[in-house]
Chain A
């Protein structure tokens, strides 16, 4: 029982970490809080669902396709809403407000066209077989989740640490003006970061959609609550913090569902968020910085 709860916790923790990674990346590098991020989660899952249904293709093919498509959507949204604000050097909260409006707009457009009914992947897309190790059961889709999450994280870390593009991204995060002076094409790098974030959000959406096999437009909204919790616990803009906080949240949710009450599961994240704000507002690994004019 305990082992199974822990495994389930790690699996949802891996998706939370993956989801929060894109969110914290946008905040850390682009210095905007982009609330449309929850929409990417839903969009990714919906595109994958329709592609799988329509072309009767394997999920292994539609997953990357839908992730890339959502990444492109994220670039368009960034270009339309956030680039103008950045150019005006608008305050952080302006980005929050504009993306909040856009989120409501996009969610209600999606529901206007496809409704709020829960949709499912065709049975053929999901392999129901599972492996059993002792008393622990892990399904194929859960293995896909953990595998994809680890692969994406490894790729991202390699990109950030080992390439010139990663260096440019880190320079942009440090100081956009200085990065520009050092020859970084800020616009291009900004779009690239949006693309990567959109891809990460969409991948998390597809994986969660596969795991629970229940997809509808507002699914990203509930996920945003976990996203906020993870990035605040891990520290805003902190990649390592987001990974660890995601896993912690998944594990604690699993244990709460198993040993306390499954209805309380979704409140765990918020409780941790409030506790973090009270006792360690900089997050797990953060250090305090003064706000300057």
Chain B
């Protein structure tokens, strides 16, 4: 199935297996789950939640630097 991942304003479409979890999508774009909070619209998602086809998720980067 296809989902859209937004990170720092940049949207990327990725292919993930059926019943993929949030953590699978985060790892697919080489982001450490420790460094982001995931949202679907206004809802905060846990890493173990299952995604649906055409879901759009937003990754909010929380690692500081500087």
- On whether the two chains bind one another, the answer is no
